Amino acid sequence: MTPLPSAQRLAGLCTTAAHAIALEIVAETGSTNVDLLARAAHLQQPTLLWAQLQTAGKGRAGRAWHTPAGAALTFSLAWKFNLPVQGLLGLPLAVGVVIAEALRTFGVDARLKWPNDVLKDDGKLAGILIETVTDKTGRQATWAVIGIGINIAQASGLSMQTGRAVVAATELAAEPERAMAALLDGFAQALPRFEQQGFAGFVDAWNALDAYAGEPVNILDQGQVLHTGYAAGVDAGGRLLLDTAQGRITVLAGDVSLRIRED
């Protein structure tokens, strides 16, 4: 059995800003998001829960997301924002920026796909699922549990499971603790900035990493085409900008998805 990463070693790799995050590493759990959501009301500080295997992992819209042990970095980060839940608009996109920028320091050509995927070579490299719990102390505060899965080993079953190409950042497989430290450092700097600036503080970085800028795309809702046009980045609220035959429109995330269009 592969030994667990060391929380002590991980802490030593992080910068001072990330030392406020409690580090928990487990061999297996059902879902790191579910675990931290259940504990959010009692957490005293930002908390990382990193599982080597999740047996009931989930993706966007409740879709199952299962990976073999050691094939992915699967973790959740609970973070308390002094904001109402409406103030977290655009947070999944800001998280995507943090992930992509951290991975690029390891030589991974990570790009972003609206609303919450990280890509490499046109395949899905990482997914993001954020769930929230309102703080019960009477203040306008919200715990966000940021669930992330980053593929680090090739797993053909994932492509079959999702019905789309899934790729891996194999560059991270040999040094997962260093990769996690880079991610935590990124979050420790970015999430306080998000609390102050919202997604407006990340919009330029997101657009610079946009995998589909200028590409012909369809916007789908449960397989049905809602809009067709050319992707034009996102605005400061995290809405997709789409240039259509009728002019530019904005698209809210909801449960719609973006697909490249074959002209």
The reply to whether 14 and 105 lie within a common domain is yes
Q: Give the active site residue among 39, 104, 178, 259.
A: 259
The reply to whether 111 and 238 lie within a common domain is no
Q: Give the active site residue among 60, 104, 178, 261.
A: 60
In a domain, 2, yes or no: no
In a domain, 203, yes or no: yes
Tens place of pLDDT for every residue, the chain, 263 residues?
Answer: 567 889 999 999 999 999 999 999 999 999 999 999 999 989 999 999 999 988 866 555 445 555 666 788 999 999 999 999 999 999 999 999 999 999 999 999 999 999 889 999 989 999 999 999 987 765 789 999 999 999 998 755 554 454 557 899 988 988 999 999 999 999 999 999 999 999 999 999 999 999 999 999 988 887 788 889 999 999 999 999 999 999 999 998 755 566 766 65
Q: Which of 185, 94, 203 shows the shortest CA–CA distance to 144?
A: 94
The reply to whether 198 and 255 lie within a common domain is no
What's 209's DSSP letter?
T
In a domain, 101, yes or no: yes
Instruction: Confirm whether 164 is a catalytic residue.
Output: no
The reply to whether 186 and 223 lie within a common domain is no
Q: How far apart are CA 60 and CA 255, in angstroms?
A: 8
Q: What is the pLDDT of residue 41?
A: 87
In a domain, 1, yes or no: no
Q: How many residues does the chain have?
A: 263
Q: Is the pTM of this model over 0.85?
A: yes
Q: Which of 96, 82, 109 shows the shortest CA–CA distance to 186?
A: 96
Residue 67: which CATH number? Answer: 3.30.930.10
The reply to whether 84 and 166 lie within a common domain is yes
Q: Which two tokens stand for residue 205?
A: 């970085």
The reply to whether 90 and 112 lie within a common domain is yes
Q: Kindly report whether the peptide bond that precedes residue 115 is cis, defined as omega within 30 degrees of 0.
A: yes
For residue 227, the surrounding DSSP H or E stretch is strand 224-234
Domain containing 240 equals 216-260
The reply to whether 171 and 225 lie within a common domain is no
Up-side HSE of residue 91: CA atoms within 13 Å toward CB? 27
* Domain boundary residue, one of 208, 224, 245: 208
In a domain, 232, yes or no: yes
Q: Give the active site residue among 58, 111, 120, 124.
A: 124
The reply to whether 136 and 251 lie within a common domain is no
Q: How far apart are CA 40 and CA 142, in angstroms?
A: 10
CA dist 123 → 103, 115, 183 (Å)? 15, 15, 21
Q: What is the pLDDT of residue 59?
A: 54
For residue 7, the surrounding DSSP H or E stretch is helix 7-13
Q: What is the pLDDT of residue 135?
A: 78
Cα 72 from chain centroid? Answer: 13
The reply to whether 182 and 227 lie within a common domain is no
Residue 232: which CATH number? Answer: 2.30.30.100
Q: How many domains in the chain?
A: 2
Cα 261 from chain centroid? Answer: 24
Beta-sheet strand order (sheet of 216-221): 247-251, 240-244, 224-234, 216-221, 257-260
* Domain boundary residue, one of 192, 208, 224: 208
Q: 198: how many CB neighbours lie within 10 A of its CB?
A: 20
The reply to whether 151 and 175 lie within a common domain is yes
| 6-16 exposure pattern, b = at least 16 Cβ within 10 A, e = fewer | eeeebbebbee
Bridge partners of residue 221, in order along the sequence = 224
The reply to whether 137 and 83 lie within a common domain is yes
The reply to whether 116 and 196 lie within a common domain is yes
Q: Give SS3 for 247.
A: strand
Q: Is the alpha carbon torsion for 105, 22, 196, 95 positive or negative?
A: positive
Instruction: Confirm whether 60 is a catalytic residue.
Output: yes
In a domain, 54, yes or no: yes
In a domain, 204, yes or no: yes
* Domain boundary residue, one of 208, 226, 246: 208
CA dist 30 → 34, 35, 65, 152 (Å)? 8, 8, 11, 20
In a domain, 238, yes or no: yes
Q: Which two tokens stand for residue 163?
A: 């019905």
